[in-house]
Structure 1
Amino acid sequence: MKARTESDSVSAVAALADSSRRGVYEYILEADGPVSRDDVAGALGMVRGTAAFHLDRLAREELLTVSYRRLTGRSGPGSGRPTKLYAPAVREVSVSLPQRHYDLAAELLAAAVENSHRTGTPVEESLRRVAAEAGNSIGKDADSLEQALEKYGFKPETEEDGSIVLQNCPFHRLSQRHTATICGLNLDLLSAVTGKTGPEGCTAVLDPAPGRCCVRILPPDRD
């Protein structure tokens, strides 16, 4: 399945901007089980076709799951067609502007704690390891360094000397409260991304400054 992007989340949130469609979604969230188009139409006083339109839009955005079942309890010839039923999807939707990825930071921190408990490795060392592994994975899935940085919301800009500054920190709030931990995580993550996708000799270094990410990516032959 294709990975969900920030644009996908924006589209899903936009689908809920319509008050009628949001009412349909809220009704399904509170239902005891999967519901049909007739259930929604009857409960919300909608024309069945309108209910179907809203339900299918929510399903396309992966906010609802769809299943089919014969409600009569019968099977075989003459039992009628299965009814299309809708239920809430597991998917969570959030949009943050500027783009943030607190979920990624949480996953890395949790993985580091688990690794530390399992192996006896200090948490700080475990965090460096899991951040580097995540960076390698991100780099492996990207066609270029710039693509990887854009995907995770870093907003890269290349300066005259060829170095790349990152105009957005995806972990901004955490970095304000836990600077050493989060900036260290960020450096290990981006060092691995750079090593996987950047030109040979590029390096990621800590270079904090107000209004941007703490990491700068230096071109080859720069210290």
Structure 2
Amino acid sequence: MGEHNEDEAGRPHRGERNRQRQRVLELVREHDGPVDAAELGARLGLHTTTVRFHLDALCTEGLVERTRITRAGVGRPRTGYCAVRERLDYRILAEILALELGDTVDKRRRRAEAAGRRWAERITEDDPHEDIAGQHVPHRLTPRKAAEERSAVITTVFDRMGFGPELVPPEKSTPGNQRTIRLHSCPVRDMARDHPEVACALHQGLLQGLAGPAESVGSGLAMHAELEPFVEPELCLARVIARD
């Protein structure tokens, strides 16, 4: 009998599987932006299901992360994949914060939120990119417009941080003064699961700091932001709310 290259489930044997996985990883790394499984399969001559099998394993290993590829028109965004680059320092920082912020969960949460708000101040004051630092919400806006303006700023910042944000279009079922941002790829996912009182609280403080205090949106309006972590295994929700 000849040698088979696949097991009973149709997956390649270990040696071939490792070679294929390395090829998938190399091709993902060659892309400057996200790439989907179908394109990788076409480039490598592999079935899309096989490519997804390798991509899932690479995501588990922390070498690749999922994001969204927005279509140029109607239709749901496709799942894309990016190589993980330059995230090590951020993860080390989060681990140090977990150890140094305090000896109780509540103390770590409060201090992490405060650090997130300070982080937001630094971004809005010192960021050299005009599209972030210059997007201050004008005075005398309606709650709807204030929520739209501020959620656009937050989406820009979180995109640069690697969260893969998707600003959800307003729906009839959503209050007019609220906007939702879907965060598809937390850059410290493992840390957030192990120490949500640090990672998630830090991002909550950052969100609230970017939303801004009441005086940033004019008299009578107050901005509020809230984070709902891991509503799905790869998805968190951020909500931006304007109250008069």
TM over 0.5: no
Greater strand share, structure number: 2
What TM-score range do you get, normalising by the shorter chain? Answer: 0.3 to 0.5
Report the TM-score, using the length of structure 2 for normalisation. Answer: 0.40
Work out which of the two has the higher radius of gyration on C-alpha atoms and give 1 or 2.
1
Q: Which has the higher contact order (CA 8 A, sep 6+)?
A: 2
